[in-house]
Structure 1
Amino acid sequence: MNAAEILRGRRTCSTAVQKAAETKSAGPPSTNGKLMDECKKDGFIALGCLMLLLAFAGAALPLMPTTIFLILALWFFARSSPRLEAWLLGHPRFGPTLRAWREQGAVPFRAKMLACHGMCIGYTIFVVTLTPGVWLDMSVALFMIGSAIYVVTRPEPVQGAPSKESTKPSSHR
């Protein structure tokens, strides 16, 4: 089952659960395992779509991140829908950044700067509009600084560099 079938309302996890309940028998273990796998796959597709919606909202709103939601959407799609995963990796706007992250654990310089600027703007808006107490202000500042340090210390993508998968020792003999 793919995402298009789910969106059109064809056999989904809930209908599979309903059918299992109607039979009033647990069925053989292989059926139960398959049902659980199907429900897990449907759940991952739904979570991937939610992450994608949050990423698109983050692209429009200055206080919400975009990239982390795209990375999470990619993670969920990789475990549930190869078609949606391929679409996201091949996307003209988001694909190159996601491929760099997946293959090299790298973040482009421009993305680093945008992330840090976004955190500064978000923190400024937080402090000015909410006038938080000292402890909340310091906690948020430390979280933002830690996040910025993490983002800035990621390597930048290298063209033609081997991916993580190709540098791992092969388990095949």
Structure 2
Amino acid sequence: MQGKRILYLILGWFSLITGIIGIFLPLLPTTPLVLLAAWCFSKSSERFHAWLLGHKFFGPIILDWQSSDGIPKKSRNRAIIFMWAGMGISIFLVHRFWATVGLITIGLCVSTYLMRMPLRTENLESSETQDLVNSLEKTVKEEQKR
């Protein structure tokens, strides 16, 4: 069981570091890698999971994903615009027919998925999200006491 925990921990850090690199490189998707890191940390390290949920930049991404409220419309639209801009640049630079077909196919699938996701209708956090934040704060305080 310890080996499985270590494997999740290594995969979590690899995913997080790759996601951070993806902020600067257009072909690496940041959000899915951060979500994968959060899942891996939830299986391997409560401390790292709490740290990631409380992170200034990555915490809101994970909390939005875990809540059943949906995503903000502004975030959805921004994701679609930046995804297509990155794919457009890639298509322009690569000039390969199959790469273009692949990118357009992936873009259409991801855009369809994002357009079908529920949108958050109000700015107030749901009770489920608030419970998660309260649990996170409690865990962080316990870790600071140690």
**Could you tell me the TM-score, scaled by structure 1's length?**
0.66
**Aligned-CA RMSD value:** 2.1
Partner of residue 73, structure 1: 37
Partner of residue 61, structure 2: 97
C-alpha displacement of 1:75: 0.4
Gaps of 5+ in 1: 1-36, 167-173
Partner of residue 161, structure 1: 126
Q: Which of these residues, 38, 44, 47, is aligned with residue 8 of structure 2?
A: 44
Q: Which of these residues, 74, 78, 96, is aligned with residue 110 of structure 1?
A: 74
Contact 1:105/1:154 (<8 A) preserved: no
User: Which letter maps to 1:142?
Assistant: T
User: Which letter maps to 1:92?
Assistant: K
Partner Cα distance (2:18, 2:68) in 1: 24
Give the number of equivalent residue pairs.
128
Ranges of 4+ aligned residues in structure 1 off by more than 3 Å: none
Partner of residue 17, structure 2: 53
C-alpha displacement of 1:105: 6.5
Contact 2:65/2:71 (<8 A) preserved: yes
Judging changes above 3 Å, is the alpha-carbon distance between structure 1 residues 105 and 143 closer, same or farther for their aligned structure 2 residues? farther
User: Which letter maps to 1:143?
Assistant: I
C-alpha displacement of 1:92: 1.6
User: Which letter maps to 1:81?
Assistant: S
Partner Cα distance (1:68, 1:105) in 2: 19
Gaps of 5+ in 2: 132-146
Partner of residue 84, structure 1: 48
Larger helix percent? 2
Partner of residue 106, structure 2: 143
C-alpha displacement of 1:160: 3.4
Contact 2:15/2:36 (<8 A) preserved: yes
Deviations 1:12-64 (A, max 9, x none): xxxxxxxxxxxxxxxxxxxxxxxxx1000000000000110011111122332
Partner Cα distance (1:156, 1:43) in 2: 35
Query: Which structure's CA Rg is the greater one?
Result: 1
Contact 2:91/2:99 (<8 A) preserved: no
User: Which letter maps to 2:73?
Assistant: F
